[in-house]
Structure 1
Amino acid sequence: MAYTHILIPIDGSEPSLEALKQGLSLAKANQAQVTALYVVPRGEEFIEVFTLKSVKEAFYQEGEKVLEKARKIAQEMGVSLNTRITEGRPPEEIVEVAKNLGCDLIVMGSHGHGMLGKLLIGSCTERVLAMAPCPVLVVKK
């Protein structure tokens, strides 16, 4: 099956960067469009102290850093990369962006930066697997 648009959610963790490389390789082989997505968690995901504007700005700055690293990796691999930052609950945002962009594959790490990141499969990945509008390739680091 040839893929035409691959979505790669990344958070800067090792598994997400490994997923980025795998997704870029697939995109290159399929001559597919590829979008890297960074999701800034909404304030209600944290205790009230974390809803401060400066903390939200820090998340956006971190997202820009992660996506810049993704652009460099893509450039080194000779793949054109679109990037996007959204805000919300990561699993829901990943699924929504995949639907809106018409992606036919999501490539993501088995777990991210979460506190329980080392356990089996991350809750974000698990939820995306359950809700995704297309196949999901889970990359284990």
Structure 2
Amino acid sequence: MEGYNVLMIYNKNMNQLLMCKRLKNPYKGLSNLVGGKIEIGESGIESAYRELFEETGISKEDVNLHHLMDFKYYLQNCYVEVYVGRLKREVSVSGDENVLYWSNLNKDLFDMSLYAGEGNIGHMVEQVNMVKDSLLSDKNILVEK
């Protein structure tokens, strides 16, 4: 079963979410979260930090990632690990793979004509909202695998 990760990176104030505009399929032209493939022999959290740095330039020193949830797609033989983090400070982001931008959270993230993931991004943001106070307190709220 192939593994992937999705990274929900919030700014320090937790009022913006790092998004990308997909330049290729799947989801070409739609907004998405950053992420990538978990390589063989790599743990989920190692992969998350690696993909984050490769795609955005954000390093492990800039953010603490927390394992939020997983999605397992049996008929597609893959799973997705979702990680969330709040930046410790302002950083400039840059990536070659997709166009990166900071999105305000007052958007309809369930709108599948604008956002990738069949509504998953909206669902994930709602889940983060349930633990937002813990993320804002900067405590390590979740135990990493």
| Greater share of strand | 2
Q: Which has the higher helix share?
A: 1
Q: Give the TM-score normalised by structure 1.
A: 0.27
Q: Using structure 2 for the length normalisation, give the TM-score.
A: 0.27
